[in-house]
């Protein structure tokens, strides 16, 4: 009982909801959990006028801070960006050879991947509809490549169900094709036996059946007996080798396997293909950094913010020298995550502060594994995409979309969220890697551990200047508290992914900055 | 015989209906230790120490609210833990690291949960 309960997860929750309220209820819950959506703005605000003679103090050099500095500077404002870390980008970081990082309460890790190998420890994929992010990659000429976000050839393996498919390693295309075929067959038969006459107009019936038959690969008698879409047991080839298709799985086995729960990618939100910058996501941060260099001040940890009705003063400590200093500006744009900001000495009203406390942050982390050989490509023909598991914490293993057919490769052995993240992050660095290897070995027996060379793990709730992966707003907090933070407290404005409906996406940080600099600019023009 | 079985069942079930500190210790390692540290001392400036903390030792209802709702870097455990689990882990924390406060009963957690709005789960199921 206790064991079972401690595994309670989003999925278990959705399962329970589904049992109680059906799919509609699950969908409603997923909606309330805010499955990320499109970006609303496609270009920075078209601002006119000049910022000459005015100083804007920007706190944080993540995307929100960098976008603000880049755009405000163009208008003639004097921008000073205070960044606690020794580099720009915030969450947009890529671990590669020589990269070092230290978690709170942890040892310093030094990435020793081979040259060319890397792991995006923060953001890793950009959907086509994040036009704000893509606005800057295009403007700065950051080369993009396809990120294979779904791969029907990738394995899936579940032990949590029952029936013939329990524990069996199967290809996603087999399961998808058979499910569609089996379900379409049932609906088609119901339609031809008059059971759907109420729901499907007589003049639509033929098209309806056509659709079911073609998408489900049904035979003339509307039965599903397998199809080439589910792959071959003996592949077709030259000469007299037509190929052999296996019998499809039965509906009951498919349902009882629980494998269908893993088909969540596709369509709009998490499109089948996304983008990734060639060489690592930090290329975007670096492109900004190059252009913003004169405005950026590193190793400046903000400790206190004060304001009058004329100016904002920010006191910070230089973490290299331990010396304190201060800067004063006409306005301040603060992009420090709320999880961190709440412990900084700020002049905010009680109401504003209470609103800040209403956001919680999601524990998130990643484990990257450098493999000596691309066995997933060479042995199994899987190029990118996600292998799906029902492991208690590791739900997918993501295969690299760069350097196909290269020698080595670095895969994302674990992308952990919520209690999976808290649990694994409490382990030692070595234990984390072992944990990830054990999960992968189950689906790539004989190859996973044998090819493992080096690992790197990183957890954002243990990152001193983040204290969490991204902000999480409940429906109530979104309604009551979130709008308050969109307004200035005196001369201080907030920005960042946490102030968007694109939480946990780079686009959210960028568009939030766009929105807030427009407000600052308008106010500065009036003064 | 039947009486004996029932009695035995009662004895075994009894602590479970209240709180189970040993189970709480396991949960602590899984869900809390990464930030608040195995020692309960936290990390200065980031994660509050649980040893001697006023909220930890204070009103069990308010303390369970913290786990259910979260605050800042502290995530919400509303959808991740049952009332029983929250009672177990809080009872463990209140009797460890030099703390000695009364255990938290699952009923207290349930009552607090009932006062909270229905929504409030974690963000999207996929990660970004
Ligand atoms: C694991 C993970 C996966 C993600 N995946 C994706 C993805 O695939 N695609 C995508 O588009 N997005 C993704 N995101 C989200 C994306 O990384 C963020 O939304 C975005 O980078 C946030 O930018 P920001 O400027 O709001 O915050 P940040 O990048 O956190 O910037 C805040 C800055 O403030 C600084 N700071 C903090 N405290 C102080 C202080 N006291 N003094 C001075 N400076 C301070 C920090 O060092 C940091 O540089 C992911 C995030 C994570 C964690």
- The ipTM is 0.84
Q: pLDDT of B21-33, one tens digit each?
A: 999 999 999 999 9
Q: How many CB atoms lie within 10 A of CB B23?
A: 22
Q: What is the DSSP string of A463-508?
A: -TTTSSSSEE--HHHHHHTHHHHHS-BTTEEE-SGGGSSSTTSHHH
Phi and psi at residue A287, in whole multiples of 5°? -65, -40
List, in sequence order, every residue forming a beta bridge with A494; answer none if it has no partner.
Answer: A334
- Separation between Cα atoms, residue A387 and residue B98, nearest integer Å: 45
Residue B72 near chain A (CB below 8 Å):
yes
In the prediction, which pLDDT does A70 show? 98
Low-confidence ranges of chain A (pLDDT < 50): 1-37
* Rounded mean pLDDT, B86-90: 98
- Predicted pLDDT of residue A17: 38
pLDDT tens digit string along A380-433? Answer: 999 999 999 999 999 999 999 999 999 999 999 999 999 999 999 999 999 999
Give Cα A235 distance to the centre of its chain: 36
Domain boundaries, chain A: 35-89+282-360+473-527, 93-160+274-280+363-469, 170-257
What does the pLDDT read at residue A4? 34
The confidence band for B73, taking pLDDT boundaries of 50, 70 and 90, is: confident
Predicted local distance difference test score (pLDDT) of residue A266? 80
pTM (predicted TM-score)? 0.92
What CATH number labels B17-114?
A: 1.10.760.10
Which residue is associated with the tokens 């833990």? B81
Q: Which helix (H) or strand (E) holds A275?
A: strand A273-277
Q: What is the per-residue pLDDT for A35? A: 42
B chain contacts of residue A265, beta-carbon cutoff 8 Å: 126
Looking at the DSSP bridge assignments, the partners of residue A81 are: A58, A296
Tokens 């629980």 belong to residue: A258
Q: Is the pLDDT of residue B12 over 60?
A: no
Q: Would you say residue B5 has pLDDT above 60?
A: no
- Fold category of A93-160+274-280+363-469 in CATH: Polyamine Oxidase; Chain A, domain 2 (3.90.660)
Please state the CATH superfamily assignment of the domain spanning residues A35-89+282-360+473-527 in this structure.
Answer: FAD/NAD(P)-binding domain (3.50.50.60)
Q: How many CA atoms, within 13 angstroms, populate the side-chain half-sphere of residue A332?
A: 30
- A235 to A190, A228, A240, A376, B41: CA distances (angstroms): 34, 10, 12, 19, 60
pLDDT bin (cut points 50, 70, 90) of residue B121 is: low
Mutate to test the pocket of ligand 1, among A58, A69, A90, A126 (most ligand atoms within 8 A of CB): A90
Cβ atoms A171, A231 nearer than 8 A:
yes
Pair A133, A126: CB distance under 8 Å: yes
What are the C-alpha distances in Å from A369 to residues A106, A108, A112, A326, B124?
Answer: 20, 18, 11, 43, 25
How high does pLDDT run on average in chain B?
Answer: 85
A91 Cβ inside 6 Å of ligand 1: yes
In CATH, what is the architecture of A170-257?
Up-down Bundle (1.20)
The Cα of A438 is separated from the nearest Cα of chain B by a number of Å equal to 18
Q: Which residues of chain B make contact with A357, given a CB cutoff of 8 A?
A: 71-72
Nearest CB to B45: which of A343, A468, A472?
A343
CB pairs under 8 A between A and B: 147
Query: According to DSSP H, which parts of A159-307 are helical?
Result: 172-192, 205-216, 251-257, 282-292
Does the pLDDT value for residue B68 go beyond 70? yes
Query: What secondary structure does DSSP assign to A456-468, as a single string?
Result: EEEEGGG-TTTSS
pLDDT at residue number B120: 54
Nearest C-alpha neighbor of A404 from the set A385, A428, A423, A425: A385
């Amino acid at each position: 009982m206790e064991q079972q309960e401690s595994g309670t997860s989003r999925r278990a929750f959705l399962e329970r909801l589904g049992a109680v309220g059906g799919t509609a209820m699950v969908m409603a819950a997923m909606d309330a959990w805010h499955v990320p959506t499109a970006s609303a703005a496609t270009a920075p605000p078209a601002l006119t006028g000049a910022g000459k003679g005015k100083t804007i103090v920007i706190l944080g050099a993540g995307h929100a801070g960098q976008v603000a500095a880049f755009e405000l500077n163009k208008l003639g404002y004097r921008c000073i960006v205070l960044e606690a870390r020794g580099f720009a980008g915030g969450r947009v970081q890529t671990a590669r050879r020589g990269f070092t990082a230290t978690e709170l309460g942890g040892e310093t890790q030094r990435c020793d991947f081979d040259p060319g190998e890397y792991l995006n420890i923060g953001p890793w994929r950009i959907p086509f509809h994040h036009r704000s992010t893509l606005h800057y990659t295009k403007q700065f000429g950051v080369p993009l490549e396809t990120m294979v976000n779904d791969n029907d050839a990738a394995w899936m393996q579940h032990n949590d169900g029952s029936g013939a498919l329990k524990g069996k390693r199967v290809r996603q295309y087999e399961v998808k094709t058979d499910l569609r075929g089996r379900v379409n067959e049932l609906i088609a038969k119901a339609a031809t036996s008059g059971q759907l006459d109420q729901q499907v107009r007589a003049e639509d019936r033929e098209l309806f059946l056509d659709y079911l038959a073609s998408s489900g690969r049904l035979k003339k008698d509307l039965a599903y007996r397998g199809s080439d879409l589910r792959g071959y047991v003996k592949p077709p080839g030259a000469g007299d080798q037509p190929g052999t298709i296996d019998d499809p799985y039965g509906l009951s086995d498919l349902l009882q396997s629980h494998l269908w729960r893993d088909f969540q990618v596709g369509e709009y939100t998490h499109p089948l293909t996304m983008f990734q910058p060639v060489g690592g996501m930090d290329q975007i941060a670096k492109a900004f950094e190059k252009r913003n260099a004169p405005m950026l001040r590193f190793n400046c940890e903000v400790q206190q913010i004060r304001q009058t009705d004329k100016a904002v003063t920010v006191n910070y400590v230089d973490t290299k020298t331990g010396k304190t200093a201060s800067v004063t500006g006409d306005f301040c744009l603060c992009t420090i995550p709320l999880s961190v900001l709440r412990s900084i000495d700020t002049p905010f009203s009680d109401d504003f502060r209470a609103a800040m406390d209403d956001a919680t942050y999601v524990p998130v982390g990643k484990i990257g594994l450098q493999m000596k050989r691309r066995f997933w490509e060479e042995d199994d023909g899987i190029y990118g995409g996600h292998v799906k598991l029902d492991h208690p914490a590791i739900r997918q293993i993501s295969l690299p979309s760069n350097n196909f057919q290269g020698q080595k490769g670095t895969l994302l052995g674990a992308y952990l969220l919520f209690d999976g993240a808290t649990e694994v992050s409490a382990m030692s660095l070595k234990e984390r890697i072992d944990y990830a290897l054990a999960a992968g070995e189950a689906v790539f027996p004989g190859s996973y551990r044998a090819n493992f060379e080096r690992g790197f793990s990183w957890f954002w709730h243990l990152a001193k200047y983040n204290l969490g992966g991204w902000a999480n707003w409940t429906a109530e907090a979104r309604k009551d508290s979130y709008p308050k933070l969109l307004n200035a407290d005196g001369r201080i404005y907030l920005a960042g992914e946490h102030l968007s409906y694109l939480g946990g996406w780079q686009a959210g940080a960028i568009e939030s900055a766009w929105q807030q600099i427009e407000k600052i600019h308008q106010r500065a023009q009036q003064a | 015989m039947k009486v004996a079985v029932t009695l035995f069942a009662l004895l075994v079930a009894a602590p479970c209906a209240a709180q189970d500190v040993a189970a709480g210790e396991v949960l602590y390692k899984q869900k809390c230790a990464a930030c608040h540290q195995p020692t309960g001392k936290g990390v200065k400036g980031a994660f509050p120490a649980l040893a001697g903390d006023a909220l930890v030792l204070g009103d069990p209802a308010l303390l369970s609210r913290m786990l259910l709702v979260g605050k800042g870097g502290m995530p919400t455990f509303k959808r991740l833990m049952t009332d029983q689990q929250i009672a177990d882990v809080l009872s463990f924390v209140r009797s460890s690291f030099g703390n000695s406060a009364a255990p938290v009963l699952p009923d207290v957690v349930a009552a607090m949960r009932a006062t909270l709005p229905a929504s409030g789960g974690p963000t999207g199921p996929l990660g970004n």
